[in-house]
Structure 1
Amino acid sequence: MPELPEVETVRRGLSPTMEGAVIRQLELRRPDLRFPLPREFAARLQGRRIIALSRRAKYLLIDLDDGATVIAHLGMSGSFRIEAGEAGVMPGDFHHPRSKNEKHDHVIFHLDGADGGSRVIYNDPRRFGFMDLTTRNELDIYPAFRDLGPEPVGNELSADYLASRFAGKQQPLKSALLDQKVIAGLGNIYVCEALWRSHLSPERAAATLVTPTGRPKQQLLVLTEAIRAVIADAIAAGGSSLRDHIQTDGTLGYFQHSFSVYDREGSSCRTPDCSGNVERITQAGRSSFYCRICQK
């Protein structure tokens, strides 16, 4: 499933085409994705101007001029592509095959913008993604957002905050970081990478990073900065684009080539002067990749 950097990459790719454009028509080629599409979805969006695109955790948000917000989740294989002009030219060079089969083109935004007409097409072979409609002033109470923790790229994420959530918690550190109520949008890939950068074992109890008085230990300060850095690096590189994920212009991100531990089982650890190898263990049904030698 695309993680936060991938969704942010999609948002940045779509923004120049979608922001400021008017939705001339919303074409729905089926009544549902993972869930049924909102009632009168096409009629409610027709003629509306797109004010802004934003993101919350792993969700793309499309704000409209009447105060409504479209919530889009890519699921396992969902992607957007942009086609401009009647000829349906798809910009970008493709580094890997992607789904072009029209039977997987489920939702099409026909847009009128400053540069003329364009189409933004949502393609999803597995149909694990979804779209919903709410209002901007009700986003905080939307079920998927109601209990989300702070973003890993915002000022709210701090070592003091994490200390308050980890105090007394014997839960493995990996599981604690994947809890969306603790940090919103942080997924399996980048937790593995952040733990490697901070030399912390995914099996370590979260409480061991907090002093008896509830203050963050130095290791938690390092971990907090590692989380920020790995997410920033992934966004800058265009997202990891594992499996089905692609950027809106059809190109793939390149951060996957910089993974230090994720999916590198059996490879030498990249920590300087470390003699260990990357191992894979299973925690709560998820694969964790780490070096037993330098991650304690």
Structure 2
Amino acid sequence: MPITMPTPALSSTSPAAARDGAAPPARLHVADLTHTFEAEDGAPVPIFAGLDFSVGSGEIVSIVGRSGAGKSTLFNLISGLLPPQSGRIAVGARADGTPGRIAYMLQKDLLLPWRSVLQNAVLGIELFRKVTRNDLERARHMLARYGLGTVADAYPHALSGGMRQRVALTRTLLVEPTLVLLDEPFSALDYETRLALEDDVMALRETNGTSVVLVTHDIEEAIAMSDRVIILGGRPARIEQALDIELTVEGARSAISAREAPEFRKWHARIWGALRGQTGQPGSQFGGLAA
């Protein structure tokens, strides 16, 4: 289920906002973040040391890196599941000044089998207040928009994997987050369904101005969806590169048009080269390597 968390306001200017000629608050700011785990033998294992980055309003940022680089730990810290040992994490307020809210969507859809699609969709709302008739109407409208209107009263066992993920995405968005964290949510899906859901996520900034941070091992996915790709490496993890992804497409960027852009292979080669340098060998950690 989506994990939601209200957070304090923070003022900043984002690259995405600058491109649009506006200067709304940053949706996420991570400042001087340091975190360490304790190994079984009691030895400290540093995960991050002095990590700094921001995510602008309406910006989509992907985070890639070798396995064990701390990507999922970073999401747990941002969402509040883990308290940062040192540093600051803040999410900007909404345009009306009310606190922002984070929604965290995991790789597994985590639908409850005894609840209908509609009941699963409003579960995130139930976690912090009573569901209203208006909430149910919004849920049905959003389910219909994602092609699920005819199965709103069905149960999860009757759905395909792609349909289940769309229910999970609906559940995530119904809490009206200002920032969505996606931890490899499409990795188990077939290619066609994955492309469709990538388009759904990219549409969020157009319809809601929602910011998205995506953790993925799929280089193609990172390039196609993102305004910026952050490459984590080292131990403790640091930002080795932060790449502003510019692609030449006609009209709004889509999962297909992004992959057909003339710059796509250049970005793929650059990111793959950085990741291969981390592992020391071509490996199967990272998807989308055929391009």
Q: TM-score range with shorter-chain normalisation?
A: under 0.3
Find the structure with the greater CA-based Rg. Answer: 1
TM-score with structure 2 setting the length: 0.24
TM-score with structure 1 setting the length: 0.24
Q: Which has the higher contact order (CA 8 A, sep 6+)?
A: 2
Structure with bigger helix share is: 2
